[in-house]
Amino acid sequence: MQRTEAELAQVLHTGPFHLALRTAFSVRGLPLQRVQHHLAHRGVKVGVTSLSYWQQGARRPQRAESLRAVGALEEVLELPRNSLLRLLGDGDSPTASERPATRSHRSVREASGAVERLLDALESPADGGLHTVGHQERVRIGAGRELRRRDSQQVVRAHRDGIDRYLAVYRGDPGCDPARVEVVARENCRTGRVRRDRRSGVLVAELLFDTRLQVGQTYLFGYGFDDGTGGPCGEYVRGFGSGGGQYVLQVRFDEAALPVRCRRFAQTTAGAPRGDRTDLALTGRHRTVHLVEQGVRPGLVGIDWDWE
């Protein structure tokens, strides 16, 4: 739907950033490839993938070169100076980092930048072409309190013809060596290219479907990451750039490393206070806790725990 100048002026005042950017694209009638072309003429290199994720709220420009690109976008889109940059200072959208455990804002920014670079290196489609219908994750914590394994089973629906892959993002805990993290294609997929960033502990894996989906088709596949290289883990967090679908998370603890308390929590952004905190009971011999989110909303949700 074509937006109006009045709507653009309003959202530039109120935010959030991704909605303001998406509205500006609509009002100016510029496709992302054309925007990228205008930016290149100004000496600014940014991928169509990044532009798409910025306008969806799935990722947030944070690196110095990304912020420079936002300043150039204000020129290309004929917007008041600093109108978009100002919204980035408000902490209005979730980071795309899958696992922003308790880390400094600097490390979160570094991980987001690493994800952006790795996705661009894998030539990620502008929007991935897939919506998640349901996602179930199982996380195993080892005897040394480390994240030992993360398994995922996911159901997606194509909203563009010809989609035959999914890019999965993994971020290890501090101390993680992504070169030693193993990607395992468990069901209805196989591992393609894998890209790693050692400094941030980020890994992006290409999972190939061996079939090309048409619009409306669903696909179920399973995959995992075997880790165990990081330090003690105190939480597992999942970030959602958009809403919809069901999300189930289960955390299983080794019998030699049982926490004294577990809680479910939610956040609107990585830097926001944690709300909706609920104590979770650790089941007896199974040593697990879980949460179920119906119709997830943009933001972050997860489970944290206290060690003795």
For residue range 180-220, what is the model confidence (pLDDT) as tens digits?
999 999 999 999 999 998 888 899 999 999 999 999 999 99
Q: Rounded to whole angstroms, how far apart are CA atoms 114 and 58?
A: 14
The answer to whether residues 54 and 31 touch, using CB atoms and an 8 Å cutoff, is: no
Q: Rounded to whole angstroms, how far apart are CA atoms 46 and 40?
A: 8
CA distances in angstroms from 253 to 135, 140, 176, 232, 305, listed in the order given: 21, 6, 19, 12, 11
The answer to whether residues 30 and 7 touch, using CB atoms and an 8 Å cutoff, is: no
Of 83-87, 247-251, 278-282, 290-294, the poorest mean pLDDT is in: 83-87
Q: Rounded to whole angstroms, how far apart are CA atoms 119 and 248?
A: 25
The answer to whether residues 234 and 100 touch, using CB atoms and an 8 Å cutoff, is: no
* Percent of the chain's residues with pLDDT above 90: 44
pLDDT at 242: 64
The answer to whether residues 136 and 153 touch, using CB atoms and an 8 Å cutoff, is: yes
Mean pLDDT comparison of 13-17, 44-48, 278-282, highest-scoring range: 278-282
pLDDT over threshold 80, residue 50: yes
Stated pTM of the model: 0.65
Taking the CA atoms of residue 248, residue 148, residue 108 and residue 301 in that order, the dihedral angle to the nearest 10 degrees is 20
Q: What is the DSSP letter of 260?
A: S
Average pLDDT over residues 217-237: 95
The two three-digit tokens of residue 214, written as one number: 């048409």
Contacts of 44 (CB under 8 A, 6+ apart): 65, 68, 69, 72
pLDDT over threshold 90, residue 57: no
Q: How confident is the model at residue 92 (pLDDT cuts 50, 70, 90)?
A: very low
Half-sphere exposure of 240 (CA within 13 A, CB side): 24
For residue range 29-42, what is the model confidence (pLDDT) as tens digits?
889 999 999 999 88
Q: How confident is the model at residue 110 (pLDDT cuts 50, 70, 90)?
A: low
Average pLDDT score, the chain: 84
Taking the CA atoms of residue 38, residue 40, residue 42 and residue 45 in that order, the dihedral angle to the nearest 10 degrees is 130
For residue range 133-187, what is the model confidence (pLDDT) as tens digits?
999 999 999 999 999 999 999 999 998 899 999 999 999 888 899 999 999 999 9
Q: Rounded to whole angstroms, how far apart are CA atoms 74 and 85?
A: 9
